[in-house]
Amino acid sequence: MSKPSDLVQGTLDLLVLKILALEPLHGWALSQRLKQVSGDVLQVSDGSLYPALHKLEQQGWIHAEWKPTENNRRAKFYSLTRLGRRYLEKEAANWERISAAISGVLRLTEV
Amino acid sequence: MRFEHWIYTIPLWLRALFHRNRLNAELDEEIRDHLDRQIEFNRARGMSPEEARLVALRQLGNAALLRDQTRATWNWNGLERLMQDLRIGIRTLSRTPGFSIIAIVVMALCIGAATSLFTVVRSVLLRPLPFRDPARLVMVYEHFRGGELSYHPVAPADFYDWRSKTHGFEDMAIMRPAGYNLTGVRNELPESVQAEAGSSNLFSLLGVQPALGRDFTEADDKRGSTVVMLTWSVFERRFAGDAKIVGSQIHLDDKPYTVVGVLPSWFAYPDASIQLWVPYKADASTEMLQHHDWHGSQVVARLRSDVSLPRAIVQVGAIQYQNHLQYPHDPVAEDVVSRSLNDDLAGEVKKPLTLMLSAVGCMLLIGCLNIANLLVARGAARQKEVAIRSALGAQRATLIREQMAESILICAAGGGGGILLSLGATEWLAKTWKDLPTAQSIHMDGAVIAFACALMFAAALIAGLLPALSTTGKSMLKALQTSVRTGSSSVSRTALRKSLLTVEIGITVVLLVAAGLLLKSFMQLRATSVGCVVDNMLTLQYGLPGKTYDTPEKQNAFNEMLLARVRAMPGVRGAALGTTVPGAGYWGSDEFTVKEHPPLMAGEHLPDALTRWADPGYFGALGIPLVSGRFFTSDERLARSYKVIVSHQLVQQYFAGEDPIGKHLHIPGRAHYGAPNLADFEIVGVVGDILYQVGKEPKATIYFPILEGRGGAMLAVHTATDPLQFSVPLQKQIASLDPELPVSDVLTMKQIIGASLVNASLSATLVLAFAILSLILASVGLYGVLSYLTTQRTSELGIRMALGAQRDQLLQLMLMDGLRPALFGLGLGLMMSFAATRIFQSMLFGTKPLDPMVLTGVIATLLAVAVLACLAPAWRASRINPTQALRTE
């Protein structure tokens, strides 16, 4: 339950980076967005997002900042760094390549 | 790219290191914020407040685990966890200070002893001498075929042949011991100093540069040369480290010598007692240098890098064999042997040192096993805690790490204490152990401390890993399942403790056997009689300087005057004047033939015997019995002194079934001064055997009359009361005859004999100390295991009693439970010691590896200690009140 075992290792990172590339978000909003975009296909428990976010931050791909939100509250907003953007581009291209290759194999017709 | 990366990550690193608490608070806030928003979201979708909260929590997952996982991504996490483990470790250890202190003291003793011995072993056996390329330095000795391998001193004439006729060595150098009376130019106190005479190429061969002044030159190395080099110790001690001494004169045996150089402070070769060096040929007569039987020198050689040692030695051996053939009737060896310079220096101490190092290793292992055992017991007590924590999600690695922290702390504290201990112990050892060749260079350094740390780490692993693995295994969940009522702990863990104990006791037995054998050897050595009176005997040595006492008549006048005065002193029972006394060492030997016997076959071994000089009253005063014939008379002096007295051993060996009195010994090495053809000595008496050294077999001995004229002598005085009270009056007598004459080695006979036993006593004492410590450790372990078993089985014992078991039945039950590992261990240990004791057989005297007395003693001691250790807990078990026992959980 803690780890999204169905997800290929590193895929969660890729998804998080991609969503954050669109706009800076705080943790909860990010989890909502993940659910929206992936539908029910990717079952990610809300909690497992945080280790992933902290890891990305330690690596320098994303940057965290406390910002005020509505009703006098504040939340930790994550945004993509320049390094993260470059990393995302590289990884996305990688993913495209691999998934294309895998789909190609799977599309072979059985004789 | 790299630089930009650092801009982002370095602040994070710093934050993670220094603002740990704020990071934790922020993480909490972040998760709380997430939950709040989720709850709001849920409520907006129409859930009740309570339901909204529950659903949000479920969606989030295990919050505590989540926090842990997040924290695990932070930098410095390993460090944080280490600190945490150590904190917990310190807390658990300080809850049981008794256990912790015992464990730390045990570790400190074991690591301290091991470190000290390692320091000694490293300096003596492992560290190459500070000479240039020491691996290629070898000592070459003569070897008489037929006998067992012996390293026989070399005759200079042989050496000169080797050096000029062989090519396997870069160079060869020769040296021999010498002694001088060092007197000051300005009335300083005279002292007798030990010296070495070395050929001029010796220091360059070894690769030693003088610290001050210059080395000997080829031109210095000739007869009558008066140059001398000082060692650093005499330079500092007697000449106050004044560099002006180089180039000025000192007096040796009243002759002026010029100091040409001072050797560096580390140079203590062949040993530290050498105070000065003179050229080899300086005071050797031409005949001495030409004789092939003047054995008394050591040869050191440097192997050529392109020649193997066997090839080089074979070449030297061939030259030596030619010399042997050339002088068939002289004691010229047929062959040569070599050994490395390092082995040559360490020869005497290698075996005891290795033995002690193994003993200390065993003790360290026992210490580790004991701590492992104690930790297993603690682990067992915390079984439920561990089980509950692992049920709550603690990882096995975490639990193991936590338990390891305890053993690491114990070993680190023990190791720290051990290093401090060994600082003192090493110094003591280097001072006490007389045979250590490089005693002053033994000290701790980085390598030794690194060794101690490695030891510490290994000990922590051995002591910690085993218990940690055993308490956290898969079976631990059983602890939760077992009903509280049965109370008995897992069988496997008890088995583990018992087998640890068996090994521990086994090793203890080996140590005890070794210690017992060494102790018995030592007792036997102490009890051997050297063959003369030992009690109330004072000895001293003097050497009459050749300048003042230049004729045998003058020497005799002094010696006889002194004897007469000493014998007249009140309280003196007798006085003996000779060159040495029994028990004081080998001193010297000579080859001989019997004139009346047929000549020896070519290649036959020449007989040899110890040689000593004695005055007419020598044997009477020392209490050496006359077997047949007579003692010397005062008439046998100077040119009329061609008489000898031989020992009973010599008669048995070489005059079987004959009367030796009136026969003649031909002793070429003792040809009379100025008459080289006169070398026959008539046997006038036979006396009882003496031991030249305790622990050595008696050897054939020849006594010459000291009245033939000798300048160096040892006076032994048999006194009526405590001999040491006579040392000052005796020296006053000598001073009244010659105030310039230095006296040395004022010792009682007991001290002389004791000195040769110091090393035997040291190894026996140390190994015994290790063995006793191990015995204590093993008995503590035995006691601990049985006490633990008793508490574990309290309720079982209660049930047995309730069912009618008798108290002495319970006592027997518990006693047998404890004694079983002891008996197994005893068997194991005896088997191991059969193998182990064979290794140091050569160190034993008057006993053998399977000495029944020692073995019985060890078995009895171990059983007694084991029964005592088991008795207390077993007794407690049998006194249990059944109703109370049944109530305890």
CA distance A33 to B461: 50
The CA angle B138-B144-B145, to the nearest 5 degrees, is 110
Q: Are B63 and A47 within 8 A, CB to CB?
A: yes
pLDDT in tens, A39-95: 666 667 777 888 888 888 888 889 888 888 887 888 899 999 888 899 899 989 988
Q: Are B9 and A58 within 8 A, CB to CB?
A: yes
**Which residues does chain A have within 8 Å of residue B63's beta carbon, measured at their own beta carbons?**
47
Interface of A with B in 20-79 (CB under 8 A): 26-29, 31-32, 45-48, 50-51, 54-55, 57-60, 63, 66, 73, 75-76
Map out the domains of chain A as residue ranges: 11-106
Q: What residues pair up with B193 in beta bridges, in sequence order?
A: B180
Residues whose CB falls within 8 Å of the CB of residue B852, separated by 6 or more in sequence, listed in order: none
**pLDDT-flagged residues of chain B (< 70):** 1-2, 126-129, 146-149, 184-189, 347-348, 380-381, 434-441, 471-493, 601-605, 671-677, 756, 888-889
CA distance B889 to B883: 12
pLDDT of residue B721: 87
Separation in Å, CA of B3 to nearest CA in chain A: 11
> Other CB atoms closer than 10 Å to residue B458's CB: what's the count?
13
CA distance B727 to B721: 12
Assess A82–B contact: CB distance below 8 Å, yes or no: yes
**Which residues does chain B have within 8 Å of residue A54's beta carbon, measured at their own beta carbons?**
27, 70, 73-74
**Which residues does chain B have within 8 Å of residue A45's beta carbon, measured at their own beta carbons?**
59-61
φ, ψ of residue B270 in degrees (nearest 5): -65, -25
**Minimal-distance CA residue of chain A relative to B12:** A58
Q: Are A48 and B66 within 8 A, CB to CB?
A: yes
pLDDT of residue B128: 61
Separation in Å, CA of B61 to nearest CA in chain A: 6
CA distance B429 to B17: 47
DSSP letter at B148? S
Assess A109–B contact: CB distance below 8 Å, yes or no: no
Take residue B313 and report the two structure tokens written for it. 């030695």
**Which residues does chain B have within 8 Å of residue A57's beta carbon, measured at their own beta carbons?**
12
pLDDT of residue B647: 93
Assess A10–B contact: CB distance below 8 Å, yes or no: no
Q: Collect all residues from B whose CB is shorter than 8 A from any CB in A.
A: 1, 4-5, 8-9, 12, 16, 26-27, 29-31, 33-34, 36-38, 41, 59-63, 65-66, 69-70, 72-75
Q: Which helix (DSSP H) or strand (DSSP E) does residue B758 occupy?
A: helix B749-792
pLDDT of residue B648: 92
User: According to DSSP H, which parts of B337-349 are helical?
Assistant: 341-346
pLDDT in tens, A14-33: 888 999 999 999 988 888 88
pLDDT of residue B188: 63
Query: Is the bond into B882 cis (omega within 30 degrees of 0)?
Result: no
pLDDT of residue B302: 93
Distance, CA of B323 to chain centre = 40
Size of interface A-B (CB pairs under 8 A): 78
φ, ψ of residue B288 in degrees (nearest 5): -55, -45
pLDDT of residue B576: 93
Q: Are A48 and B65 within 8 A, CB to CB?
A: no
Q: Are B8 and A75 within 8 A, CB to CB?
A: no
Residues whose CB falls within 8 Å of the CB of residue B798, separated by 6 or more in sequence, listed in order: B880, B882, B883, B884, B885, B886, B888
**Minimal-distance CA residue of chain B relative to A76:** B30
Quick check: B279 and B220 in contact, CB under 8 A? yes
Best B4, B30, B54 member to test A by mutation, with max A CBs in 10 Å, is B30
Best A40, A57, A58, A90 member to test B by mutation, with max B CBs in 10 Å, is A58
pLDDT of residue A4: 44
Separation in Å, CA of B55 to nearest CA in chain A: 12
**Which residues does chain A have within 8 Å of residue B61's beta carbon, measured at their own beta carbons?**
1-2, 45-48
Residues whose CB falls within 8 Å of the CB of residue B266, separated by 6 or more in sequence, listed in order: B130, B441
**Minimal-distance CA residue of chain B relative to A47:** B60
3-state SS, B800-856, equals: HHHCCCCHHHHHHHHHHHHHHHHHHHHHHHHHHHHHHHHHCHHHCCCCCCCCHHHHH
Classify domain A11-106 at the CATH topology level: Arc Repressor Mutant, subunit A (1.10.10)
pLDDT of residue B575: 93
Residue in A28, A54, A59 closest to B38 by CB:
A28
DSSP letter at A60? T
Q: Three-state SS for B417? A: helix
Reported residue count of chain B is 889
Separation in Å, CA of B470 to nearest CA in chain A: 29
Separation in Å, CA of B787 to nearest CA in chain A: 45
Q: Are A28 and B37 within 8 A, CB to CB?
A: yes
Best A12, A30, A33, A46 member to test B by mutation, with max B CBs in 10 Å, is A46
- DSSP string spanning B604-652? PPPPEEEEEEE-TTHHHHHTPPEEEE----TT--GGG--EEEEEHHHHH
| Residue whose C-alpha is closest to residue B467's, from B368, B365, B387, B393 | B368
| Residue whose C-alpha is closest to residue B255's, from B237, B282, B221 | B282
Q: Are B34 and A28 within 8 A, CB to CB?
A: yes
pLDDT of residue B435: 64
List of E strands, B742-784 = 743-748
pLDDT of residue B203: 92
pLDDT in tens, B407-441: 888 889 998 999 898 888 888 887 777 666 655 56
pLDDT of residue B601: 66
Distance, CA of B585 to chain centre = 21
Q: Are A57 and B65 within 8 A, CB to CB?
A: no
pLDDT of residue A2: 41
Separation in Å, CA of A33 to nearest CA in chain B: 13
